[in-house]
Amino acid sequence: MGEHHSGRSTLVETVKASSSNKSVRLAGWIAQRRVFEVCGFLICCFASACRDALAPTAHVLPVAPVVRSVQPLPQSVAILPYTPLGSVPLATYDFVEGVLVEATIDGFVHVTSDPAAISVHANADVDYKGVYSFWQSGQCDWAATISSPQLSTPGFQACPSANPQYTQMPRWVDTVVLGGVGGNGTITARRSGGSGDPEYCPSGQPCHTVSGTQTVTLTPLPATIRLISDRTEIAPKTILIPDPFTLPINFTVSSTPGSYHGFTVPRRALSWQWIPASGDSALSTVSCTVPPPSYNSYGCAGYIYERGSLIVSARVNGVVQVDTMKVTGPEVRLNLQKTSMRPSTVTSKINDLQSQDVQVSVVDTSGQPMANKIVRISLIAAEGSAGHIHIDASKPKPTGTILTYFNTGPTGVVTLPYTAPEPSGPVSLKATSNGAGGVVKKIMIEVPDLVSLPAGADYGLVGSAEGMHTANHYATSTHIQMLQRLAAEFRKSFPNAATLKFNDSSLPSGGLFDASSLSQIDKRWQSPHLAHRQGHDTDLRTHDPDTGDLILTDAQKLRIWMIWLFVLPKAHPYQRILDHDTYPQGAPPHFHLSY
């Protein structure tokens, strides 16, 4: 912070005064500001509004750069009177990183000393350095300074000791970093102490008369955020996914310009966010956090596996701004024939495998397939979905099958069969390849159009399977209408009989209803509970499951047979009713109603 920039920073010619000099400097700043306009997005605010600024929410942040016009923090100007030990507030920069400003002190104070004064003799206009007091060695009386608790510039010991013991330069200019936390953010203009002479000279008059003021100005310098990385930009603000993708990318908040007169522009990251490109998977790890208030951080390292944009909100020389870095490159593509499939059925008597072709390729930035790329596919079934609320890490939910490691070959395109699992629910196919953006595609394994059997006055719903399958009354709308009509017709025939109890139908999306018996869930994704897969079958209790006592009389059971097979309309050629009196594996006797 040397005075006049003493050969190291911003020596601004300190000779001529000021009106013409100010206009030249203003014109220079305007031209300079035009140079600093670069692509990006800006949030601009003044010091009082920016101190606790947070990044905007993700959904309003653009991921493509736009034209940016940055206005720096406002200029602060104060008139400092000649009064010894006086101070005037200038600005508050309570940012841990500080603010880079051009600081100036303009003008003179006039000092007239009595010839009998002991330590100070002056009869002239005096600049910001003040007057040297030989009586109290090293003190500059009436010196002007810019001060905060940890900084004073140009300082109170800047005046000369040789005659004359003062100077008459109209302006001091320097580039300095001001501000901080813990009380250092308050910046003031201060006047040094008065003379050490006796208050009155022998004539009975004050030893010194002082008049006039000086103008102290802080001008925050303009700077535009510039997010950079340790990768070569293939286009403005665009880099490639690393290959191999196990290498991290280091991002840094910088600015344009990056420094003034050897001083790096202060900056501090406020938030980081990674947004995958549309259609790409969210595989990357960019978990950089906001540093604590007393610590400055402006870097972030992340592992990037797919195309997308890194968005940073940062304070750059006191102004909150937002910038992006686009990460692009080859990408893995999965083209599905369909996003919804029926579940497979595999039993000793049935081998109904539901499958579709999945086309896999790795394309370059122009969309052309790349030959001989290694691709890895992993399958992930959503645990706890489609009615299977039982979760056991030792017996994960089946995912279906597909080739998981392969080379795309000379054409760059491979077609693979994917076979659906028996349980319903979402299955995600995640494909990755070194140096390319990964992708995740979801396939819903389901029997479509199943709806829940609502509660009714003529029947009850039972059989929650001990919390393993609580949503166990789903079926086709036709099947549900038949159950409701069966209960209504039965009530007409036996108005005083016990309410019919409907047990398992199907799960919300159909598919495997895994149970080792009709009353005990197995959780091994196997089941002889075979018919309850398509929404066409429901169990009706005929006996109490705890006592084994009859719920329905023989006459009532016979009436149910008649209603289901002859009274109700024929919903399907296979409409039938089975009496499982000891089936399966010792389960309580029940009726099995199909369609």
The predicted structure's pLDDT at residue 516: 43
pLDDT (tens digit, 9 = 90+) per residue, 225-280?
Answer: 999 999 999 999 999 998 887 889 999 999 999 999 999 999 999 999 999 887 77
| Nearest residue to 220 via CA among 77, 317, 98 | 317
Between CA 195 and CA 382 the distance in angstroms is 82
| 78 in Cβ contact with 87 (< 8 Å) | no
Amino acid at 346: V
Residues with Cβ within 8 Å of residue 311, at least 6 apart in sequence: 55, 58, 61, 63, 272, 273, 274, 275, 322, 323, 324
Between CA 563 and CA 566 the distance in angstroms is 6
Between CA 547 and CA 589 the distance in angstroms is 12
Amino acid at 233: E
pLDDT (tens digit, 9 = 90+) per residue, 124-167?
Answer: 999 999 998 876 666 789 999 999 888 889 876 668 888 888 99
The predicted structure's pLDDT at residue 11: 27
| 102 in Cβ contact with 171 (< 8 Å) | no
Strands 249-256 and 224-229: antiparallel
| Nearest residue to 193 via CA among 116, 136, 146, 147 | 136
pLDDT (tens digit, 9 = 90+) per residue, 316-369?
Answer: 999 999 999 999 999 999 999 999 999 998 877 788 999 999 999 999 988 999
Residues with Cβ within 8 Å of residue 20, at least 6 apart in sequence: none
Helix (H, G, I), strand (E, B) or coil at 479: helix
Kindly give the confidence (pLDDT) of every residue in the chain, 595 residues in length, as a single tens digit, with 9 standing for 90 and above.
333 333 333 323 332 333 333 333 333 333 333 333 322 322 232 232 222 222 233 333 334 444 456 789 999 999 999 998 899 999 999 999 999 999 999 999 999 999 888 888 899 999 999 998 876 666 789 999 999 888 889 876 668 888 888 999 999 999 999 998 878 899 999 998 888 788 899 888 899 999 999 999 999 999 999 999 999 999 999 999 988 878 899 999 999 999 999 999 999 999 999 998 877 777 788 888 887 888 899 999 999 988 899 999 999 999 999 999 999 999 999 999 999 999 998 877 788 999 999 999 999 988 999 999 999 999 999 998 998 888 888 889 999 999 999 999 999 999 999 999 999 999 999 999 998 988 989 999 999 999 999 999 999 998 765 567 778 899 999 999 999 999 999 999 999 999 999 988 999 999 988 764 443 334 467 665 678 899 999 999 998 887 878 889 999 999 999 999 999 998 888 889 988 775 555 567 889 999 8
CA angle 261-263-267, nearest 5°? 135
Residues with Cβ within 8 Å of residue 284, at least 6 apart in sequence: 274, 276, 302, 303, 304, 305, 306, 308
Per-residue tokens: 509: 């999306």
H, E, C per residue of 353-384? CCEEEEEEEEECCCCCECCCCEEEEEEEECCC
451-594 has CATH 1.20.120 classification: no
| 40 in Cβ contact with 66 (< 8 Å) | yes
Between CA 209 and CA 202 the distance in angstroms is 15
Please report the sign of the dihedral spanned by the C-alpha atoms of residue 251, residue 252, residue 256, residue 257: negative
Please report the sign of the dihedral spanned by the C-alpha atoms of residue 322, residue 181, residue 96, residue 265: positive
CA angle 191-196-200, nearest 5°? 105
| 490 in Cβ contact with 559 (< 8 Å) | yes
257: preceding bond cis by omega (within 30 degrees): yes
CATH architecture of structural domain 331-445:
Sandwich (2.60)
Neighbours of 582 (CB within 10 A): 9
Amino acid at 57: T
The predicted structure's pLDDT at residue 529: 65
Q: What is the CA radius of gyration of the chain?
A: 41
Between CA 149 and CA 157 the distance in angstroms is 17
| 240 in Cβ contact with 104 (< 8 Å) | no
Helix (H, G, I), strand (E, B) or coil at 118: coil
Neighbours of 106 (CB within 10 A): 21
| Nearest residue to 42 via CA among 327, 296, 316 | 316
Please report the sign of the dihedral spanned by the C-alpha atoms of residue 11, residue 12, residue 13, residue 14: negative
> CATH for 224-328?
2.60.40
Per-residue tokens: 72: 């720096």
> Where do the CATH 2.60.40.10 domains begin and end in the chain?
331-445
Name 427's bridge partners. Answer: 381, 443
| Nearest residue to 58 via CA among 241, 299, 271 | 271
Phi, psi dihedral angles at 479 (to 5 degrees) = -65, -40
Between CA 207 and CA 509 the distance in angstroms is 99
